[in-house]
Amino acid sequence: MLLTWQSDCRQKKKTLPLCASAFHSFSESAPMINSRAIAMEALLAWEKSPEPLDQALEGIISVVALNDQRDRQLVMTLVYGVIRWQGYLDAIIQKFSRHPLSGMKPLTIAALRVGLYQLIFLDRVPESAAINETVQALKLARQPSWLTGFVNGVLRAMARQKATLPAPDEAAAVLSHPAWLVARWQTLFGPERARKICWTNNTLPPLVVRINSRRLSPDAYLTLLREKGLEGERGLFAQEAVQIHNFQGPVTALPGYGEGFFMVQDEAAQLITQLLAPFVKGRYLDGCAGLGGKTLHLAQLLPKGARVVAVEPSLKRQTLLKENLQRLGETKIEIHGLTLQEFAGQCQEKFTGILIDAPCSGLGVIRRQPDIRRQRSLAALPGYQGKQLELLATAAGLVEKGGLLLYATCSIEPRENEEVIASFLNEHPEFHLSPAQEYLPEAARGFCDRTGFLKTTPEQGLDGFFAARLRKTMNRAE
C-alpha cells in the first residue's frame, strides 16, 4: 500500500502552507512513501498547525496521489485513531521503552503511536505489516539505523506481549482526554457519565445524512443505497435522517452526492433547526451560517414564499456555503459576507426567526473532531461566553415583536449554554424562554430538560448539542 510522491507538492507550497511542513522529515528525492509515513507526517503537521484536523489532513492528502482508496482510508484511520487514543497509547509505549517519551524526537513518538495503534486496533492488518511498514516509513525519512532499530524493537516487544496489554476500555478512554476536561465532566455529570462520554468520544461516529426532501424521500434514498450495495436505516430521532453503515470513502463518492440528495449532518444538528417552528411565510436569518447545514435545512422546512438570509464573514466558508446551496438547489438564499454586527448595522428590517448557531468550544463533537480535546482549555471558556453573548445581543435587535431567537451550540459546557441564556435574559427582559419539547419529533422530546432546553450528549449516540428558544414579547416597546 504505497503512495506516489508528487512533484506538485513543491508547486503548491504558496497556496497550501501545510504542504511545506507536511513532509519535512522526508527527502524530496524519495520515490515512494507509504501510508504510515503520510499518517506520521500528518500528525506532526497537525501539531504545528492552527487548522482543524480535517482541514490539515485534507491539505496533506491533496498533494499525494492515492493509488488506491484504501490508502486514503488507512491514513485517515491511523491519524484519527492515534489522536483519539493518544494518552492510552503513550502509557503502553512508556512501559516498553527504556527512554522517556519526553526525550524522544516527535517523529519517533509518531512512529511508535502509529505502529502500536495498528497492533491493538486494526485486526485486519498483519502484525508484520504494521511493524515493517512503520519502520520503513522512518527509513524513508532517513532516520539513523539505531533509531529505526529502537522503534522496531519496541514494536516487536509490544506485539509479543499483545495478549497482556491493557484493553482499550473506559479507563483508557479517560486517560486519552486532558485531565482538566475529565475533572470538569466528573463535576458536571458524575464519574460514571464522564467515563461513558470519554469512551463514546473514542469510538467511530456513525455517518448520518439529512435527506433533501425536495428531491426524494428518506425511503427512496435507502433504496438507492441498497442498489449500490450499501446498507442504511432511518434515523431514530430526526425525520429526514438516514444512517449509513458500511461505507468507507469520501462523502463525495456516496450515491446522490452530485444530485444534491443529502447533506451530511448528525441527528442532533437536524433537531436544532426544527426548533424555529412553527414555520410561516416570513423572513428568517441564519446569523452564523458556516457551511450552510442548518441554513439549507431551514430553507427546506419553510413554506413557499418565505425568505432566508445567511450571514457568513469567512470567505472560505462562503465559498463552501455557495457550493452546498448550488448542489442542493437552494439558489434563492441571500448570502451576506459580513459579520453579524456589520449586517445588523446596515439592516433595515426585522426577522420572524433568527438562528444563532454560535461559535463555541465544540466540546460536544469531540467524537467527530478528536483534535478538539487537545486544542481547548478551561481558561478559554469565558472567552467563548463573551462572544456568544455579543452575538445574541446583536441578534436581539433584529427580531420582530413576537418573533423567535434560537440559540444553539455544539457544546455540553454550561458556561456556553445555560449561563449564556441566563445572562442574556437578565439583560433582555423583552425575551422569554419558550420550551422546546412540542416542536420536536416525539422520539426526541426526552432530550429536553425541565427548563425546556434541548440538550444532547455523546453517550446518547448523538453529537452533544444545546439549544434554547427565546420568544420576543409582542407588547413591549423596543
Cis ω on the peptide bond leading into residue 278 (within 30° of 0)?
Answer: yes
Phi then psi for residue 244, to 5 deg, are -105, 130
- Listed in sequence order, the residues at least 6 apart from 466 whose beta carbon sits closer than 8 Å to its beta carbon are 364, 408, 409, 411, 412, 416, 417, 418, 453, 454, 455
Q: Which amino acid is at 323?
A: E
Cβ-contact 139, 163 below 8 angstroms: no
Rounded Cα distance, 273 and 266, in Å: 12
The grid coordinates of residue 394 equal 446583536
Query: Which grid cell sits at 200?
Result: 463514546
**What is the C-alpha to C-alpha distance for residues 133 and 150, in angstroms, rounded to an integer?**
15
3-state class (DSSP) for residue 218: helix
Bridge pairing between strands 241-244 and 232-234? antiparallel
- Is residue 410 part of the annotated active site? The answer reads yes
Q: For 256, left (φ over 0), alpha (ψ -120 to 50), or beta?
A: left
Cell of 335: 448570502
What is the spatial distance between Cα 302 and Cα 274, in angstroms, rounded to a whole number?
10
Please choose, from the candidates 316, 387, 401, the residue with its C-alpha nearest in 3D space to the C-alpha of residue 357: 387
The residue annotated as part of the active site, out of 9, 19, 288, 410, is: 410
Other beta carbons within 10 Å of 179 = 10
Residue 353: its H or E element: strand 351-357
Distance CA 242, CA 244 (A): 6
Question: Cα separation of 254 and 245, whole Å?
Answer: 12
10 Å CB burial of residue 289 (0-12, 13-18, 19+) is buried
Number of other CB atoms surrounding residue 45 within 10 Å? 22
Catalytic sites, residue numbers: 410
